[in-house]
Structure 1
Amino acid sequence: MKTWTVAEAKAKFSEVIDRAAAGTPQVISRNGRTTAVIVSAEEWERKTKRVGNLAEFFAASPLPDSGLSVERTPERPRETDL
């Protein structure tokens, strides 16, 4: 992984993009601190791909067999001055 300052990245933007597209994430820093990371579109899709849905997530949860008992409190919600 190569680290570029913002000025370097702006001056060599095509190279930054080419390296990221080749599979090597490119780090952009500002004032010595990492600000952004440029990755290939394929890597981004792989990292952000949603697997399953909420119902499948809860169905696969280990909690039903954990013995945990969750009950709703019988108390009414507290009143507010809004």
Structure 2
Amino acid sequence: MAKQANLKTAKRAGRRTPVGRWKLEDAKARFSEVVRHAREDGPQRVTVRGHDAVVVMSVEEFERLVPEKPRAPFVEFMESLHLGGLNLERELDRGRDVEL
């Protein structure tokens, strides 16, 4: 139903872009509407000079497509770097002599 309303709005505005596809200048001017349609109707394509450039999608859709990788605990991460041969010793530094 929302897609039909979007199509009617597009026709009234004189645009001939398909539903879910926005010219860059229209997407910039009506960004909140692009975001609303992305959340309600699905991914929205933005075109530059007639070619698809980017897709605006809901975070739920993004997370479904690109699941978050589990993070290793910090100690495991540091151990995985294999820094056992790295010399971390510091020279004793007592500062410098200054005349007052």
Give the TM-score category using the shorter length. Answer: 0.5 to 0.7
Runs (5+) with no aligned partner, structure 1? 53-82
| Higher Cα Rg, which structure | 2
1:10 to 20, 28, 39: 28
Match for residue 40 of structure 1? 58
TM-score by length of 2: 0.47
TM-score by length of 1: 0.57
> How many Å apart are 1:31 and its aligned residue?
0.5
Contact 1:25/1:39, CA 8 A, preserved across alignment: yes
Q: 1:27 to 1:5 in 2, by over 3 A?
A: same
Matched to 2:38, the amino acid is: A
Match for residue 98 of structure 2? none
Deviations 1:4-51 (CA, angstroms, capped at 9, x unpaired): 011000010000000111141100000010000111000000100157
Q: Secondary structure at the match of 2:42?
A: coil
Cα distance in structure 2, aligned partners of 1:15 and 1:50: 28
Runs (5+) with no aligned partner, structure 2? 1-18, 71-100
- Count residues in correspondence: 52
Cα distance in structure 1, aligned partners of 2:20 and 2:65: 20
More strand by percentage? 1
